[in-house]
C-alpha cells in the first residue's frame, strides 16, 4: 500500500509521518530528497537564480533561495523544473524497491504528479496562526518570511480526484498524541 501524505507548510506532516513509521510504514520524505538534489544541482541552481542564491562556501544559500522562490511563483516553477524530475524518480524507485507499506511525505504531492502512485491520500491541516508560530520557532523565520511561505502554498489542499483514491483530512489542532491517534485510526481503516 502507498499512502501520499501532504499538507501545507508547518501543518504537522513530519509528526504524521513518524506516526505512520511507528506503525510499520517506510517513509520517503520529499523535503529530505529535495535538500540532497539541491546540493547535487547547486551549480545549476546558482546559475539560474544568480549570486544572491550562493552561500559563502559556494553551496546554495537555502534561506536566500527561499526568499526568492516563495515571493515569486515563476521563480518557484523554475526551481521545481530543476529539482522535481530527479526527486520524483527517486521516490518512484523507493516505492518500487519496497515490499512494505510506504508513505510518500510530500507537501507538493499533486504538483509533482505523485498522487497517481497512491492508494490513499492523507492531508494534514492546521490553523494558520499555529503554522505561523511553528514556522518562526522551527525554522527561525521572521514573521514576514513565514507568512510569505505560508501564502505560497495556498494551492496545496485536499483535492477530489478521479483516480478512485480515498482522501483523508487530519486536522492538527491539538497535541502530538492527538495527531498520532488520528493517524492510528486511518491506518486501522486502510488495513481493515
Q: Residue 11 sits in a domain of what CATH number?
A: 3.40.50.300
Q: Is the pLDDT of residue 109 over 90?
A: no
pLDDT class of 143 with cuts at 50, 70, 90: very high
Q: Write down the pTM of the prediction.
A: 0.88
Is residue 42 in some structural domain?
no
Helix, strand and coil in the chain, % to nearest 5: 55, 15, 30
Rounded mean pLDDT, 98-121: 88
Q: Is residue 184 part of a domain?
A: yes
- Residues with Cβ within 8 Å of 95's Cβ and at least 6 positions away in sequence, in order, are 2, 28, 102, 104, 117
- Domain of 26, in residue numbers: 2-33+89-191
pLDDT for the residue 96: 94
- Retrieve residue 41's grid coordinates: 544541482
How would residue 23 be classed by pLDDT, with cut points 50, 70 and 90? very high
The model's confidence at residue 192, banded by pLDDT at 50, 70 and 90, is confident
Domain count, the chain: 1
151-176 mean pLDDT: 76
Does any domain span residue 158? yes
Q: What is the pLDDT of residues 66-98, one digit of tens each?
A: 999 988 999 999 999 999 999 999 999 999 998
Whether residue 64 is contained in a domain is answered as: no
Residue 39: inside a domain? no
- DSSP states along 81-145: HHHHHHHHHHHHHHHHH--S-EEEE-TTTTTTTGGGG-SEEEEEE--HHHHHHHHHHHH---HHH
- pLDDT value at 114 more than 90: no
Identify the pLDDT of residue 163. 62
Is residue 105 within 8 Å of 29, Cβ to Cβ? yes
pLDDT of 162 higher than 60: no
Nearest partner of 156 among 133, 186, 179, 124, judged by Cα: 124
Nearest to 48 by CA among 56, 38, 57: 38
Whether 55 has a pLDDT exceeding 80, the answer reads yes
Q: Is the residue at 46 inside a domain?
A: no
Residue among 111, 103, 90 nearest 153 (CA): 111
| Rounded-to-integer distance, Cα 146 and Cα 76, Å | 16
In angstroms, the CA 51 to CA 134 distance is: 30
Amino acid at each position: 500500500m502507498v499512502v501520499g501524505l501532504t499538507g501545507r507548510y508547518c501543518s504537522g506532516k513530519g509528526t504524521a509521518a513518524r506516526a505512520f513509521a511507528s506503525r510499520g510504514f517506510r517513509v520517503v520524505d520529499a523535503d529530505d530528497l529535495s535538500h540532497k538534489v539541491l546540493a547535487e544541482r547547486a551549480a545549476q541552481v546558482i546559475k539560474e537564480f544568480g549570486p544572491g542564491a550562493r552561500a559563502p562556501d559556494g553551496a546554495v544559500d537555502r534561506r536566500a533561495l527561499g526568499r526568492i522562490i516563495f515571493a515569486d511563483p515563476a521563480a518557484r516553477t523554475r526551481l521545481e523544473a530543476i529539482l522535481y524530475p530527479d526527486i520524483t524518480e527517486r521516490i518512484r524507485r523507493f516505492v518500487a524497491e519496497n515490499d512494505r507499506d510506504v508513505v510518500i511525505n510530500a507537501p507538493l504531492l499533486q504538483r509533482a504528479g505523485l498522487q497517481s502512485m497512491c492508494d490513499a491520500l492523507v492531508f494534514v491541516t492546521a490553523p494558520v496562526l499555529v503554522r505561523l508560530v511553528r514556522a518562526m520557532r522551527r525554522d527561525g523565520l521572521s514573521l514576514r518570511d513565514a507568512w510569505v511561505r505560508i501564502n505560497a502554498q495556498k494551492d496545496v489542499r485536499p483535492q477530489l480526484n478521479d483516480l478512485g483514491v480515498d482522501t483523508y483530512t487530519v486536522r492538527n489542532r491539538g497535541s502530538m498524541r492527538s495527531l498520532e491517534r488520528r493517524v492510528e485510526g486511518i491506518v486501522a481503516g486502510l488495513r481493515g
